[in-house]
Structure 1
Amino acid sequence: MLVVGDSITHASVGDYSWRYFAWRHLQASGARVDFVGPRQDPYVGEGSPWTPQYADPHFDQDHAAAWGDRISYLPMHDREALMTTYRPDVVVLALGTNDLGWMRVPPADVLAATRAWVEASRTDVPGLDVVLVEVPWTTHAPAMEYNALLGSLATHLDTPEERVTVARAAEGYTMGRDDDLPADTYDQVHPNTRGQVRIAAAVTDALAGLGVGLPYPRPLVFPAEGPRVVPVLEQHSGEQEGTLRWSVPPGATSFDVWMREHPAPWQRRARAHPAASYVVTGIEPCQAYDFRVLARKGWTVAGHDVASPVVRVRVGPKVTERPRPRLRAGARQVRLRWESVDGACQYRFRAVTRSQRGRVVTSKVVDRPRAVLRRVPADSVVRVRVRAEGARNAGPWSRTRVRRVRR
């Protein structure tokens, strides 16, 4: 089987491609199908930092689709060479988007080019079956007009020996918008994962009509959206602001930054942020803020299953001073006080109590420069140290202070 198409079929780095879902379904339905063609990889733009890789490479990747390809004028693949080299039993022809959209070729002329392509291919490969795929661009009037004409063309070309059918890829297809609502494209024309599943279902339904495999199962099941690589997120906390930096998954074009201040729920701090770093401002010193990042491809945000790991940001000056605690022993207790330390968010004290009962170590954290050590055995000796802990570090321990607790 030879799949000929443009960017909608080619797919770009980080996509599954509709061919992936079609292949997986055909294999599951027991169809013995071999995809053929001169290409294997998805599209990667010039100067891209990514290697060409799909979201899941485990499928037959051979194809004859090319980003920007057309059928009415200077196709990127030599039709005759494709036919004579691969001699396919079935061709899935999915061209026309660029002709109708960017080149503004009238639908009737695109239809004529499609007819000529099929007729010439039959000359090279007698007995060829063809699936004509609708252009899934439901907001574009010329594309919809072209789709309306495909049925009559297929009827005209269809014969018992050389069958032609139409894959209704535009039926139920929803063009995306930049509004985060469920849709089938991540920009004006290119399918996201939802759209790829819909196109695969339409194509395999048409193939089933030719006796190849079974119709695609309904209701359609849509995997989580991509990019499917988890960003690696790091943070640096400063005195007044924090900085987040992360890796860019293949295919990602922007990012959503989410923040959570305990115990409040997650809130989106930035939407479609174009860079791989983000400066966190306007947050309170000492307060802990959790952050995570979700990648986007165009208008489509990745599923939460590939959100970055959570990092915590706390801002404030570093602690350098050593507390100077004062101890006051009372009836079975010791009271501690010390002056506040600049930059301290909390204080930790460690007390070692020695009595006839033995040795007891107590370690506690308090948010004010005082504490009380209670239930201290009579006639015991208490040794105490204190240190200040800031948003970004812990200061040095104080000198040890000693008090005896009498009856």
Structure 2
Amino acid sequence: MVGNEPTEVAGEWDGGRSAKRRKAVRYAVPVAVAGVTAATIGLVPAFAGSGSPDLPKISAQDLIAKIAKSDVQQLSGTVQVTTDLGLPALPGGVGAGGFGGGAKGGGAGASASPQSKLTELASGTHTLRVAADGPEKQRVSLVGQSADYTLIHNGKDVWAYDSGSNTVVHHTAPKGAHHGTPRDLPKDVQNATPQELAKQALKAAGDTTSVTVGDTAKVAGRDAYQLVLTPKQAGSTVGSIRVAVDAANGVPLKFTLTPKSGGPAAIDVGYTRVDFARPAADTFAFTPPKGAKVENGEGAAGKAARQHGKDLGDLNGLKDHKGSQDVGGFHVLGEGWTSIATLKAPGGPGGKDQLAKGEAGKLMDSLGSKVTGSFGSGHLFSTRLVNALLTDDGTVYVGAVDKQALIAAADAAKK
């Protein structure tokens, strides 16, 4: 086998592309990853097949260019996703893979709202079935043990169907929904594919990132190169990001994020089966089943889903920034992998004091650890990837950074 020697890339990795494109690599992806992952996305092992295929050598610049030039419009397949952030078990069977539990009783599983369903992806292992045929047709199904949950975009129509509760949410896509990620499909779904995750990760590949080519791999039966992104900033909790890229067409097949602390991947999503032929037309057809409860138009569930997508879109849309900047309701400190988002807790100053009362206070003490600094005191909440500091004055600091970085940010804000 002819291996690919690691080739570090710094500075102008884009092979002479415009200065505007060069600037795009400084998006604050770590904060976006923190927001999406902590809030909803569940991602991990898409089993890479055994063996390392013998492929021609390729530079990191050329592999990035191969991804950028890829223009696959049709595909179908199965994506296995898991999140291992070290979060405590969540209520409602999260992580168990079931979507229908409790639906008949009208509980949390009774709504077909994307927001209510996709929060189940915060932990555990899940399976998605995906299909796309150009910018106007996409389908994503979350496969549960006893029921499935499906989102379908077909032209002007967007449907969400929960088979467990036999409920449907339907609304019309706004003009301008295109490129395979219509605004009506929440960001949780838009980002739960290797392609979208790789796109976000590559935006971080600036001066704060080392980009190399690793060993070759087999993913979903296809030969792949592996692009490796490693943060250079010491305060980041991200160890590395590895993107398996289809050697034939440049489509990212697998995305793996490993924490600096080691252990299994915290985020790892990829195809276990993929086919680049055009899916059958009826894949994107949907008629509400007999007896289904249908909510049409911009009802409560539709509004919640739309707002949910907007909120996460604000995080994903963090632009090039130096020092600090207000983005999507968050005040962003720092840049690159050590970006930290800050906001005020509900109730503003003193909000934390209200939260600290009674049972809520006991829960905070059990989930977080008390910390002090020049800023005063507060509670630190940690996962394997994302950490958050809630100070006594009601300010929240959150990012894919270590404890000391959060405390330093809080201390600096008080000076």
Fold shared by both chains (TM-score > 0.5): no
Higher helix share: 2
Question: TM (normalized to structure 1)?
Answer: 0.20
Greater relative contact order (CA < 8 Å, ≥ 6 in sequence): 2
Question: TM (normalized to structure 2)?
Answer: 0.19
Name which one, 1 or 2, has greater alpha-carbon Rg. Answer: 1
